Chains A and B, each alone.
Chain A
Amino acid sequence: MSIRIRIIDPRRTFIARVYSRDSDLSSRHLWIAIHPRERDWAAVFRNALDLLMEISQVQRQQVTFADGAGHIAWQRTSFWTIIRLDMSAFSKKKRRLLAAALLKSARYSN
């Protein structure tokens, strides 16, 4: 095992949380990802949802899950991507956990 301080992780994608709103029935999150190399967001989110045991469907620049009650969409530019996550199913606690897991995947998956 190794322990080290690493302020900058070259394999990590920098993602800023721009907006987050949780109501009793739905959640919305907006993130901006800055990435010098192109990322296959469909693969990233589909793999994450598979690990979360959620059946997902990839459409053009978005992945839907929870029978359409959840969707994560992205809008790509040259150096950054705007990612929007909307969920109108599950408990508030579960929506928060799913959002955190999807954000973690976006940051750390290859």
Chain B
Amino acid sequence: MPKVTESALVAAPAEKVFQMFVEPQRAVMFVPGLSRINNISSDKRSWDFEFNWLGLVISGHSECTASEAPKRYQFKTLTGNKSTWTYRCEPDGANTRLSLEVEYEVPQQQLARFASETVLQKMNQNTAREIVSHIKTLLEP
């Protein structure tokens, strides 16, 4: 599967950075286009998501597959285009090196919409960059 990665140094302890991921609904605040997180299970290990880009709505189901506080948080989108999202927090002095890796399937029918796999890769890379940048911005003064 293709994958994109992004990382940034965040001026916050790893425990605080990790808190951004453990509450699924919080993702709406820093993931571009993500409009709703619903039907969160009581253990917060599964949820439904909905993206909205100017009226184009993409919805699906996700499950958390690893939550190792404060080092690694991983979830998978299980329906439609499967993808695996892994956040890693590595302490760096008083700061934290935050990285995000997204592995994703490239469905052929959607490929036509995006014209080429390269364009899709670039879009995903930009999204990952924005997410990491937003988390850094939210956690710093």
Q: How far is the CB of A45 from chain B (nearest CB, A)?
A: 13
The distance in angstroms between the C-alpha atoms of A48 and B28, with both chains bound, is 9
Find out whether the CB atom of A3 lies under 8 angstroms from the CB atom of B141. no
Find out whether the CB atom of A1 lies under 8 angstroms from the CB atom of B52. no
Find out whether the CB atom of B29 lies under 8 angstroms from the CB atom of A90. no
Please classify the interface of chain B as helix (H, G, I), strand (E, B), loop, or mixed, using the class held by over half of its residues: mixed
Find out whether the CB atom of B57 lies under 8 angstroms from the CB atom of A91. no
The distance in angstroms between the C-alpha atoms of A91 and B139, with both chains bound, is 11
Find chain A residues with CB under 8 A from B79 CB: 1
Please classify the interface of chain A as helix (H, G, I), strand (E, B), loop, or mixed, using the class held by over half of its residues: mixed
Find chain A residues with CB under 8 A from B28 CB: 51, 101, 104-105, 108
Q: Check if B77 is an interface residue, CB within 8 A of chain A.
A: yes
Question: Given the known A-B contacts A52-B29, A91-B141, are A2 and B35 also in contact in the complex, defined by CB atoms under 8 Å?
Answer: no
Sort chain A's interface into a size bin: 20 to 34
Checking B20, B58, B138 against A3 with a beta-carbon cut-off of 8 angstroms, the contacting residue is B58
Find chain B residues with CB under 8 A from A52 CB: 29, 138
Q: Check if A93 is an interface residue, CB within 8 A of chain B.
A: yes
